[in-house]
Amino acid sequence: MTSATDRFAPPLPAAGGTADRPRLDGRRIAMLGLGLMGRPMAVNLARAGAELTVWNRSPAAAEEVSAATGARAAASPAEAAAGADIAIICVTDTAAVEAVLFGADGITAAHPAPRVVIDMGTTDPLATPDIGRRLTEGCGASLIDAPVSGGTRGAEAATLSIMAGGEDAAFDAALPVLQVLGSRITRIGGPGAGQVAKAANQVVVGVVIQAVAEALALAEAAGVDPARVREAMIGGFADGTILRQHGERMVAGNLIPGGKCRIHLKDMVQATRLGDANGLAMPASTLVRDAFARLVEQGRGELDHSALHLLLTDTFRASDDDVAAR
């Protein structure tokens, strides 16, 4: 039988995998948000020795992570953050971040409040500087926006790429915690810069998923095995993480989510709004945003974002059926 620890603990790293990572013994860390990314991140914080408190909107998730790690489960964001050195938020969107921070039982109501709050979700870059200002005014804490790339695999293996924005002192305080969660930490600039970098990242990811989907659909439409085409492309100029991981999902029909369509839609909406705010037309991003919107409208929002290929294969197979019917 699989234990709670087995369910949430990532595989043990290879020899030397954590030798150069800092320990967090004695550091009081609050982890708020225990979804696909937050759960394995909490495990890695506990493994590094942090005195961990966890909170999730669905209490069962906090209780399960508590059983797996020995962390204390809190009933509210304020309770989780009270007395913490650093609070980490990993929730789905800007509204959820604002609720965790500024709600009646949010972090700004914590006594004592943490010195630093790290937002590791993908939040609207146009809103982030104001959120940081309101946080400091509300409880004196500094905000680091530190969204991540690498998916659930990176969260489990603690190999996330982390893009950080914020003031120098707050970043320095957050850095040892970030080094436990990721293998590549880049300070992009001041408040909000990390979220701008993540918007750019999601543009590349979304557009390349669309490109891989079109390439494999082209192979199928031409009567060639898309799995073999994908194999042939690996090692060539078109190779990359998305061809390998998401291309494999497409040919295998494995749409169990690592990243969900509805979440990537939110990311593409934020990215194109940022473009609009800065006078930049983004035609490829707009196409991909609208494709994710169609999937969500079809009730496919909970599928992995590699499900973009379904829009192509649905159309191709429907037209093929029409020809056969004639």
Residues forming the active site: 198
**How deeply is 208 buried, as exposed, middle or buried, from its count of CB atoms within 10 A (0-12, 13-18, 19+)?**
middle
Neighbouring-strand partners of residue 304: 260
Complete DSSP assignment for 100-115: HHHSTTSGGG-SSPPS
* DSSP 8-state secondary structure symbol assigned to residue 23: P
CA atoms of 125 and 114, how far apart (whole Å): 23
What is the DSSP track for 135-197? HHHHHSPEEEE--EESHHHHHHHT-EEEEEES-HHHHHHHHHHHHHHEEEEEEEESTTHHHHH
CA triple 260-266-269, angle to 5 deg: 140
Kindly report whether the peptide bond that precedes residue 112 is cis, defined as omega within 30 degrees of 0: yes
Q: Do 34 and 182 form a contact (C-beta atoms < 8 A)? A: no
